[in-house]
Amino acid sequence: MMQRLIHILWPSFLVAGVADIVFTTLFDPLQLMYRGEALIGQRIAAYTVGFFVFWLLGIASSALTCYFQRSADEINRCPLPPRKRPEGCPKRDDGSGCC
């Protein structure tokens, strides 16, 4: 579990750093306006907020990648041992399944 978490957080952290550098190089955070008012009043606050927004986007992307690369066996695996599965379960070993 910890290794999967590292596989999600570390690449997204690196991408967020690069994205923040590129974004703040191209745009001045103090000139970003919403309805005529500045979104954020200080540059360092804009850099910090921007980094965390980019990091959250990277986390979402990496988490979806980990989710979609699961095998069919991982998806269809029953978490219960065979004897504790409910009556009528087709994967129950005692022959009481519906199939």
Tens-level pLDDT at each residue, the chain (99 residues): 788 889 899 999 999 999 999 998 998 888 878 888 877 888 888 899 999 999 999 999 999 998 888 888 888 777 788 778 777 777 776 654 444
d(CA 19, CA 2): 25
Q: For residue 82, which of 96, 63, 69, 65 has the smallest C-alpha distance?
A: 96
How many domains in the chain?
1
Residue 12's domain spans which residues? 2-68
Give Dmax (Cα) for the chain.
70
**What is d(CA 38, CA 53) in angstroms, rounded to the nearest whole number?**
18
Q: What are phi and psi of 89, to 5 degrees?
A: -70, 130
In a domain, 7, yes or no: yes
Residue 59 lies in a domain: yes
What's the predicted TM-score (pTM) here? 0.68
